[in-house]
Amino acid sequence: MNLIDLIREDVQCVFERDPAATSRAMVLLFYPGLHAVWAHHVHHWLWCKGYRFLPRLMSQVTRFWTGVEIHPGARIGRRVFIDHGMGVVIGETAIVGDDVTLYQGVTLGGTGKEEGKRHPTLRNGVFVGNTANILGNIVIGENSRVGAGSVVVRDVPPDSTVVGVPAHIVYQGGKRVLITDPHEIKDPLSDALIALSARVDELEERLGAQAGQPEPFAAEQAERVAYRKELDYARDYVSMGEGI
């Protein structure tokens, strides 16, 4: 497929995913995410030819004009749509499949100074909400969705929706996923939640054990009620000292 066909394909995918797109001229002129992807194709071609300084320089110029930073070494598929674009960062060893949608502020980054493949792989049809961070050499499965503001540090199965910090699965295969074990979230506060849950269970057991026992002072309470009834009955016949 030649360059003109690729541009036409990318423009068409914008109309399919963004209801704000009203004309081809608007898409061609005012969508910096598309400009960044098109420029990256050139940068990546130079990178694969063994050039290093020139594609890095060109990528920085593109970053200045579009707000999108894509390392020339990253591999970007077809019909990738970066909506709004500002603040998007895609690392050197990241792989982005076909029909992927990224919103503003998304980071496909690493977690340290490890060598080799250190950035994520997004399979075909992945959707990533704004300001989400996908970190490390992990894989986001086909047609999965990453909620806005999420931090993903583990692999995500296909056809899943993940949200949270750190991200956990809430939908998979169109079905709601209920979390019964706090350890599944891998949150730093998981141990505190587990301890709190155990304490609540203990208190419920103690209350349940006491439910079958007679209340303390039950006899005294009964005498008190009977005495008050007797006083109320006697008020109709005996002066209780009113008016003294």
Q: What is the pLDDT of residue 196?
A: 82
Residue 217 CA from chain centroid, whole number: 55
pLDDT > 80? residue 151: yes
Distances (CA, A) of 82 to 32, 57, 127, 200: 8, 21, 10, 47
Q: Which residue has the higher pLDDT, 208 or 167?
A: 167
Instruction: Please say whether the beta carbons of 74 and 44 come within 8 A.
Output: yes
Q: Which residue has the higher pLDDT, 3 or 12?
A: 12
Q: What is the pLDDT of residue 59?
A: 95
Q: Which residue has the higher pLDDT, 227 or 148?
A: 148
Q: What is the DSSP letter of 194?
A: H
Q: Which residue has the higher pLDDT, 133 or 227?
A: 133
pLDDT > 80? residue 243: no
Instruction: Please say whether the beta carbons of 67 and 88 come within 8 A.
Output: yes
Q: What is the pLDDT of residue 244?
A: 47
Structure confidence by residue, pLDDT tens digits, 59-93:
999 999 999 999 999 999 999 999 988 999 999 99
Q: How many C-alpha atoms does 64 have within 13 Å on its Cβ side?
A: 6
φ, ψ at 209 (rounded to 5°): -65, -35
pLDDT > 70? residue 156: yes
Q: What is the pLDDT of residue 207?
A: 78
Q: What is the CA radius of gyration of the chain?
A: 32
Q: What is the pLDDT of residue 46?
A: 96
pLDDT > 50? residue 8: yes
Structure confidence by residue, pLDDT tens digits, 196-223:
878 888 888 877 766 656 666 667 777 7
Q: What is the DSSP letter of 71?
A: -
pLDDT > 80? residue 36: yes
Query: Which range among 40-44, 159-163, 183-187 shows the weakest confidence by mean pLDDT?
Result: 183-187
φ, ψ at 145 (rounded to 5°): -125, 135
Q: Where in the chain is the domain with CATH 2.160.10.10?
A: 3-178
Query: Which range among 12-21, 63-72, 137-146, 227-236 shows the weakest confidence by mean pLDDT?
Result: 227-236
- Percent of the chain beyond pLDDT 70? 86
Average pLDDT over all residues of the chain: 86
φ, ψ at 70 (rounded to 5°): -120, 120
- Percent of the chain beyond pLDDT 90? 58
Structure confidence by residue, pLDDT tens digits, 177-200:
776 666 666 666 667 777 787 888
CATH class of 3-178: mainly beta
